[in-house]
Structures are given as C-alpha cells and as structure tokens.
Structure 1
Amino acid sequence: MNGFIQLFLLLGCVALLLKPLGGYIVRVYSNQPIMLGRLFNPIEETLYRIAKINPNSEMTWQQYAIALLSASFAGFVLLFLILKYQSYFPLNPGQFDDLSNDLAFNIASSFITNTNWQSYAGETTLSHFSQMFGLTVQNFLSASMGMAVAVALIRGIIRKNYNLIGNFWVDWLRGILYILLPLSLVLALILGSQGVIQNFNSNVTAINLEAVTQSIPGGPVASQVAIKQLGSNGGGFFNANSAHPFENPNALTNFLECLSILLIPATFCYAFGMMVDNRRHGLALLLTMTLIFIPLYFFALQQEQQENMLLSVLPIDQRASQTQSGGNMEGKETRFGIVNSVLWASATTATSNGSVNSMHDSYTPLGGLVPLLFMMLGEIIYGGVGTGLYSIILFVILTVFIAGLMVGRTPEYLGKKIQAFEIKMSSMCIIIPVITILFGSTITIMSSQGIQSMHNVGAQGFSEIIYAFVSASANNGSAFAGLEANTPFYNILLGICMLLNRFGVIVLVLAISGSLAAKNITPTTVGTLSTHSPLFILFLAGIILFIGLLTYIPTLTLAPISEFFHMMSMQ
C-alpha cells in the first residue's frame, strides 16, 4: 500500500503541474509575453548584443546543428581546462590536485552530454570552483540544449514548405533564463531550508559520540542539487549522491527531488501537444510512458520486498515486522526504505537523470534488471528534459510507418508524410546506442584492462559492465558500482560512448526536423491514423517494448536473469 501511495502522490503532483508549466514552456519558446519577461528580457537582449546574435534570424537544420556542436565543443574545452588545471583556480580549500587527462576527458564528455557519469568521489577530487563553474554551469547548458533540440523538432512538424527550424542561440538561452534558472532557484532555496548545505567551507574535522574522528565536507551543494534534478543531469556533489544527508536530508527533500526528476520531461509532452495543436496526442505520449513505467516499478518493488536469498544464511531477520517492512534492505537508505528507494531508482533511470538514493548494485537480480531495462528502452519513458520527447517521437515515426504498411497506406504523422528519409534517420538513432552498448561491452570483456577493474565475477560482474555502457550510451550516468571505472581504459571508452550517442542522435533528429519542415501538411481524412486513440497507445507501447526486448534479451539473459536462476539454485 505504501508503494501505491508514494507512486500516485508523485504522479498526481506531476499531473497538477502539467498545464501551468506546460503552458509557460510554450510561451517561452513561442516568444510570447511571460511573467518573468520584465526581469530577464534586458539580460537576454544584452547577451544578444554582446555575442552579436540576431534573435530574429532563423537557421536551417545544418546551421542549427553546427551552432549546437560548436557550443558543445567550446563547453568541452572550457571544462577540460578547468579540471586539468584546477589547482591554479580559487575556491580550492581542500587543495585538490589537477586531474589526469583521461579523467578530465571523461568528466568533460560526461557533463556536456548531460550524462554526468562520475568515476570519482566529488568531495575528495574536485574544488568548489570546479563544482560550480565547471559542473553546475554545464548542467544548465547541456539540459537547455536537449530542450532546444526538442523544440526544433516540434517546429519541423508544425511548419510547412519551410526550411528553417528556429535559432539555436535563442532557444538555448531562453531555456536557461526562463525555465531552468527560476525553477532551480526556487528548489535550491527550499532544499537549503531543509538542511542541504550551501557554503564555501573546507572539510571540518569533528569527533562523534563514539570518539571517532570524522571529516565532514562542505561546499555549494544546494545550487548544484537543484539543477542536477531539474535538468535530468544527476551528478552529485558527493560520492554517495542523493543518499548523502547533505544532498538529501529528509523525506520532504527526497519527494521534491524525485518530483523534479520527472517534472520537465513529463511537462514537455503536454507542451508538445499544445504546440502542435493536438493536446490529446501529447497526453497519449505521456500515457504511453506511464503505462510502461508503472508495471516495471511495481515489479522492481515486489522483487526488493522479498527476502534476499543470499542473506538468508546469515543471522539477519528479513521478515516484515510491526515497525518496518521486510525485504532486501542491503544498499537501501534506512531514512527512505525500500519503497522510496525503488521509486527513485525507477524514476532516475526512466529519465536520463542518473542520480541515486540507494545502491543499484545491491538490488536483487530481477530488481536491478528494471533500472537496466528502463535505460535500454532508449530513455523514452519520460526521458531527459527535451531528449525524452524527441526520443519517443522517433518511435512514433516507426509506429506510424509500421501501421501504414499493415493497411497499405502511406504513413502520416500529424499531417506530414513519413518517407524513407525519416525512417532511415529514426532507425539510425535507435541503432547507435545498441552499437555502442554491445560493442563497448564486448571490447571490455575481451580486454585485460576491462577485466582487471571487476570486483565481482560471473553474472554480477557482467551486469556491472553492461550497466556501465548502458548508462553511458543512454546519457544517464547512474552506476551499478562494483566496477573500478576510474582507469584510462574505462574513462576514454565510456567518454566516447557518451559523445557518440548524444551528438550522433541530436544531428539525426535535427535532420528529421529539417526534412519535415520542408514538407506540406496533408489534410486529415477518414483513413488517417489516429495518434491519440487507445489502440495507438497500446501499439506504440508494444513497439517500444518489442524493439527493446528483442535487442537486449540475450544480454539480459547472460546478466541479471542468469544471476537470478543461480540464486534460485542456492535456495
């Protein structure tokens, strides 16, 4: 019952915020008057003048892609230099050394791609300057970039006989100024009021009641936590991420941070429906995501609320009592318990957030399969800010194409004919993560450098390797742990996976946008496929699950499923 209550409270709050926030997002990207305009319009106009940008000049999809790649490359170089020479910058009370080339490359690749994979402990590796001016800045930039691409794709759908899809610099800046910055400021203030720290202190040495000396870290945490959740970033200030009491002190902050993870990705579906003048279709996409999310969440919850058979041989009572629920508490935060741990794990991997408030490596085999499967489906069950929307639209394009083949009719999507080019681009977007996940994992298990980093053998060790490449390729950033990933081999290989999947997919999505924008809009007829009916929702969900399972079921069989049967044989 607690699992039902927590889930529907979370989704209920998301539903309540859909309309006001969705309408606000539409006004921001449509350049309509908004409440914060008086505050931010002068800043926006000043930045355009400094950068010599004409906000009224639009771009082709090629120009849009070049501008996006240029901005990302500049961000990569800047972040790499900050990390490589962090000892020369101020706000380094811990006197941390410069980072190695491979680790700086991995972190820079991770944060410009909105992945936020962390193969290091933040509180013992990065200065306050690197955390603020390096990581937190990129959290804003990379998140707004994903939203800009989604908006560019929407323009391609609604425009006709036109080859321009908007101005990247305008979309990018407005997403930061009018959406991410105000929401992050409000959330940071609330989190700070609840005990999430925000200071420039160095580590403080304290002695606890048991006379044990502890080093308690400080830093500007609340500001980074707010954008890491709202922007689907996920990288924590501390190594323990959102299980750390300085990032997530109590049940209220846990709920608000989990809500923040889902808020913008879900709202973008509603905003999409408003922009294409078909709200029912936007809600149909959101409902499709939710119909896949809920069963998988409850399956993981059911698995974790069972006894861990490997612990049954130890003097540990895993049965339910009057004061606590029974089940697998290994790796769970006692402040949040199994329900809120599983809910967070599901939300953070269904989106591309990647933050954790429990250790996924300690989940039961089938319980840990669920976060893995969410990412393998392509980060479309809500997905990241903007990225979740354009990713599920790729599956919608495939769905209408397959439906058109079944009835012998040229497939159409919201008035645009879907032809060979769109199908090729969509298929390539889906194939790119598959290639990097499977090839990257294969190279790793065939390499001595990859095997040497494993702390577990058998199916569990293979699951950790697969999870690392799925997380990097899905631009998620969460980790299964148990794998020493801070080596040149893993830092470079995972960094390449992040870059290929982020920018390879983005360029192809922009190409689809340009192709659709140049087409005429076909009038709706009685033969037009309805894209908001219950049949379409079920068909779309079936295509998503079919492609995901067909692609990865052999891998899942060798990893968590194999481990499950091994555990059953030990019972």
Structure 2
Amino acid sequence: MTFTDTEAGVCQAIAVIGALVLLHIPLGDYIFRHLAVTPSHTDRQRSAEPGAAKPHWRIERWIYRFVGVDADSEQNWAQYLRSVFALSAVGVLVLYLILRLQALLPYSQGNRGLSPTLAWDTAVSFVTNTSWQNYAGETTTGYVAVIAGLGIEAFASAAVGLAVSLALVRGLVRRETSELGNFWVDFTRACIRVLLPLSVVAGVLLIAGGVIDNWNAWHTTTLANGTTASIPGGPVAVWEPIKLISGDGGGFFNASSAHPFENPNGATSALEILLMLLVPTAILRTYGRMVGSVRAGYTLLAVAGTLFLLFTALTMYSEIHGSGIATTAAGAAMNGKETRFGVSGSSLFGISATSSADGAGAASYDSFTAFGGGLLMAAMMLGEISPGGVGSGLYGLLMVALVAVFLGGLMVGRTPEFTAKRVTPQEMKYVALYYLSSPFVLLAGTALAMSRPGERASMNNVGPHGFSEVLYAFTSSANSNGSAFAGLNGNTTWYNVALALVMLFGRFLPMIFVLALAGALARQRPVAVTAGSVRTTGPMFAGLTVFSALVLVGLTFLPALALGPVADALR
C-alpha cells in the first residue's frame, strides 16, 4: 500500500499523538510519585500535600553529602533561586574549560579547543538548555567533550527546568508558608529517577532503529564509483536520547536529526518526535495530581494540544501548498527536506522541535516557505507552551492560564482566583514581568544586530528573509530552543557574545519571576471557591487560555513578523 506524502505525515502525527496519550498518564503518575512530594513531612503544610513522600536512594544521599546540603530541609523562593544560579554558574565554568581544553582530553579526534567566544557561547547555550551551536559538531567537538560536557549539561539543564516548575506548583498547593521544597532534591531526583531511565530505554530503541554508537575515529572508504569518502563515527545513540528528552536538541552532526547516522528512517524520526514531546506532556498529568484535580491537568493538556495541532496543520499546509515556480513544479516545498521523511514528516518534526523547546532539526528550516518558517518562529514566540520544554512548558502554560484567569475575573467583576488562591496585583506584576522579559531581550538583540553593518554582513540573504534569519536566531536563543534558520553566520565574536547574553537573560529572568510568584502564592491562605469563581477547568477555560496565548504573541511580535516572514511571503 502506497501513501502520499500528506497521508504519511498525517499517519505519523496520529501515531505520535496516540503514543503520547498512552504514555503520558503512567509517566506523569511516576513523576508525581517520585518528584512531587518533598521527602520530609514535618509540618501540617507538607503533610497536606497529595501523595506520599519517597525516601532518598543511596546514590542520592551520596550526592547530597558531596554537595554538602541537608536534603530534608526546605528552601524559600530566594534560596531556591540562589541554588539554581549556583549550579548553573558552575556548569558554565566547567563546560567552558572542557571545551577550551578538549585537545588535551582523550578521543578529541584531533579537534583543537574552541576559541574563547565560541566556548563561551556553547557553554552558556547548553547550560541554559538552548543548545545553539555556532559550529559543525562532527568537525569541532571530541567525544569526551560531547558526552562528559554537553551530555551532562543536557541532563542538568532539563532537571533545573523541571525543578522550577515543581516549585511553582507547590506554591499553588501550599498555604501560609514560605517553603517551596529543596532544589537539590528536586534536581537530583529529576536526573536519576526520570531523565536517566528514560534515556537508557530510548537509547536501546534508537540503536535498534539504526542510530550509530561507537568510539571509532573517522575512516576512509572506497565508493562504488572508485572515489573515496570519509565516514564519521561517534557515541551518537548515547547522547541522542537525552538531547531529545531534555529539550536540549544539540546535534552530534552539523545536520542534526537530518543526518542518517543520527536519524536513519521514518520510524526513528517518529520516535525522536515522541521523545521531544513526552516529558513536557506527562508533566501536565503530574500537575493535575499535585493540585488534586486531574481535570486541571487535562485542561492544560487541551490548551497545549490545540496549539500544537493548529501549528502543525498550518505548517504542513504551507509546505505542501507553498507558492513559487519550483514549489509548484515539485508539488510541494521540497527544497531542504529529507526525502526519507517527506515534506509532511519534516514539517511535523520542525513544529514538534520548536513547540517543545528542542533545537533538533530534520530539515533545513531556512528552506521552509516564508509562512512555514514564520510558524516555526511563532511556535517559539508563544513561549514554547505547546507543550513546551521540560518544566518550562508547564510554568509557561500556568503563566498564560493566570492571564486567562485575570481576564475572566474582569469579565465577572471579581478578584480572579486560581487553585483557590487570589491573583492579586502583586501576582499579576510577576506574570507581566515574566511575559515582558523574553520579548524584550530577543527584540532588543535583533534590533541591535540589524543596526550594525558588520552583523548584517553575517546574513547570507538580504531583505525580509535575511531579517527573518536574525529574528529567528534571537527568538531561538531567548526561548531556550537552539534551532536555527542556518542562513546566518553566527560564529563571530559579536554574535557569540550577544546570543549567549540573550540565552542567559531569556532563561533566568523568567525563572526569577516564576519563583517569586511561587513564593507569593505559597504565603496565601486559600479562599473558598464559590459559584462566582471563575472555573479554571473545562473547555471554556481552555478556549480562553488558547485565545490569551495567541493574543499575547500577536500583540508582542506581529510587527517583527510583518517585517520578516510576512513581507517575505508577499514579495
């Protein structure tokens, strides 16, 4: 039986969504049992939380002893934030040194240490869960630098996002307390109990699907026509699972998941899409269990699912029915697409990556149609909430839900409430600052780059498409995504420094406001839910939240999108 490109893409999307439906409940419940509840139940606040505390594992106790923390104590929001900063600062320093000194490490494959600015950009990139790469992986980084440097930071950066999201939900659940849990416990358990087991299982499946995994150097082989070619090796399947599960997305090869050694066929492509979406979807189930309302989790899942399906359908349509002589002659926008995945499969992969804060790519995003590329950008500009990154997707969805609650409260003329907590002006200030932080840094970075002749020279295209390349780069960096249009030469001193600063501000400024909001909510006394309260579950609230998300991104980014993708499409 032969399928058309569109039918194959739709079938793949149905298979991925079906697998998510089946897997997100057991995985979400597993995360709830092991991460949601703090280990000590020493007061009435913690004992009131749903679920049961889990004892520390032996390896976890060793880690706590090594770090020098009391795992049974709790932290307020400021202490929690300082722990996030401390771990991230150490991560940047250690990874920077590994990349600078990689020539001294075993299995460096003859690669020299990265330049100071490129090492800085790369270290910040992976610590912030962005994985922006201004280099070709197979010719720049050695195997130890990838596994011991980039790979470990993929675990760490994802665990940080997961921990911050748990702290926010605890702020919604707890009452009259300043304690939000212990960052070191949340971080350690996220790595050992969630990310590591998933990576092992996924790695076995990817190896079975044909992804390579070895420590071999490049070797030369003779082709059928008598010419020679250099074939790379590498521990790809070891890194690939956490790259996808964590939302990290860094490519072992320059072509990332478009490379046949990294993503051999349609089956592995579907698996990689599933891995990108799995944890961000499952954590919504965990949220529902934590707040004592599974329906609340399903409401957020409906929001994320609606946005994901909307963007997927529009992107597929744009790539299949794009305008232009070459596109019309080929029957679809084939330029930059992998024939083994097809146009629809490449579109699905692209939207899955940009919707889940994952920088992986199975096609050249620079070669997408103007509207298709614009939709990839818009998916990131949403705050990557469909379903978003590991942890960051959950707190992003909760932020837009609070905006929806605020609007609903205005409609009925009363103070808005969410999970029996009042959303007062103080809480809304934190939400507003959260929403302003990322657009400010990415738009400021884009404007500064376009104002500098030297940085404009890094664009391989001129006009609206060239502007889109720069806008995409800063959008990707500010939203911890890491994918690129690939038409921009970002490996310059200015871009390495500027993009790294945007990554830092785009990652950690929102976390400040998330944790401050969590602290403010945790100190509140719950209010009684009455007939006049805005219902925060069900189709009506889900629709209001979707509307709020689209309005927010439209009001913020429509002028920039009009100068880039929209103008490019109208040329």
| TM-score class, shorter | over 0.9
Matched, 1:433 2:448: no
Match of residue 222 from structure 2: 207
Conserved? CA contact 1:195–1:246, under 8 Å? yes
Structure-to-structure mapping, 1:87-166, within 5 angstroms: 87-92=103-108, 94-166=109-181
Matched, 1:498 2:503: yes
SS in 2 for 1:214: strand
Q: Distance in 2 between matches of 1:354 and 1:367?
A: 17
Conserved? CA contact 1:231–1:384, under 8 Å? yes
Q: Match for 1:427: what amino acid? A: A
Conserved? CA contact 2:8–2:345, under 8 Å? no
Q: Distance in 2 between matches of 1:391 and 1:292?
A: 13
SS in 2 for 1:57: coil
Conserved? CA contact 1:87–1:96, under 8 Å? yes
Matched, 1:65 2:81: yes
Q: Distance in 1 between matches of 2:36 and 2:353?
A: 30
Q: Distance in 1 between matches of 2:329 and 2:528?
A: 65
Match of residue 531 from structure 2: 526
Runs of 4+ displaced beyond 4 Å: 31-34
Residue 297 of structure 1 deviates from its aligned partner by 1.0
Q: Distance in 1 between matches of 2:361 and 2:9?
A: 18
Match of residue 51 from structure 1: 67
Q: Distance in 2 between matches of 1:221 and 1:533?
A: 43
Q: Match for 1:230: what amino acid? A: I
Matched, 1:404 2:409: yes
Q: Deviations over 1:388-425 (max 9, x none)?
A: 00011111111111221222101110000111121111
Match of residue 22 from structure 1: 28
Q: Match for 1:49: what amino acid? A: R
Residue 308 of structure 1 deviates from its aligned partner by 4.8
Structure 1 unaligned spans of 5+: 319-325, 567-571
Conserved? CA contact 1:350–1:381, under 8 Å? yes
Match of residue 395 from structure 1: 400
Q: Match for 1:275: what amino acid? A: M
Q: Distance in 1 between matches of 2:509 and 2:305?
A: 27
Conserved? CA contact 2:203–2:238, under 8 Å? yes
Shifted more, 3-12 versus 507-516: the winner is 3-12
Match of residue 321 from structure 1: none
Residue 133 of structure 1 deviates from its aligned partner by 0.8
Q: Distance in 2 between matches of 1:296 and 1:62?
A: 37
SS in 2 for 1:215: strand
Q: Match for 1:107: what amino acid? A: T
Q: Distance in 1 between matches of 2:118 and 2:298?
A: 42
Q: Distance in 2 between matches of 1:4 and 1:43?
A: 44
Q: Distance in 1 between matches of 2:26 and 2:309?
A: 24
Residue 3 of structure 1 deviates from its aligned partner by 3.5
Residue 212 of structure 1 deviates from its aligned partner by 2.7
Match of residue 569 from structure 1: none
Conserved? CA contact 1:106–1:494, under 8 Å? yes
Structure-to-structure mapping, 1:263-342, within 5 angstroms: 263-306=278-321, 308-311=323-326, 317-318=329-330, 326-342=331-347
Q: Match for 1:89: what amino acid? A: L
Aligned equivalent of 2:455, options 446, 450, 463: 450
Shifted more, 41-50 versus 414-423: the winner is 41-50
Conserved? CA contact 2:356–2:389, under 8 Å? yes
Q: Deviations over 1:207-238 (max 9, x none)?
A: 21122321111111101100010111100100
Residue 317 of structure 1 deviates from its aligned partner by 4.2
Identity of aligned residues (%): 39
Match of residue 91 from structure 2: 75
Distance 1:133-1:342 versus aligned 2 partners, 3 A rule: same
Q: Match for 1:199: what amino acid? A: N
Shifted more, 278-287 versus 3-12: the winner is 3-12
Match of residue 43 from structure 2: none
Q: Distance in 2 between matches of 1:469 and 1:211?
A: 45
Match of residue 489 from structure 2: 484
SS in 1 for 2:57: helix
Match of residue 58 from structure 2: 42
Q: Distance in 1 between matches of 2:437 and 2:338?
A: 36
Conserved? CA contact 1:187–1:226, under 8 Å? yes
Conserved? CA contact 1:449–1:489, under 8 Å? no
SS in 2 for 1:205: strand
Q: Deviations over 1:346-386 (max 9, x none)?
A: 11001101100011111111111111110111111100000
Residue 53 of structure 1 deviates from its aligned partner by 2.1
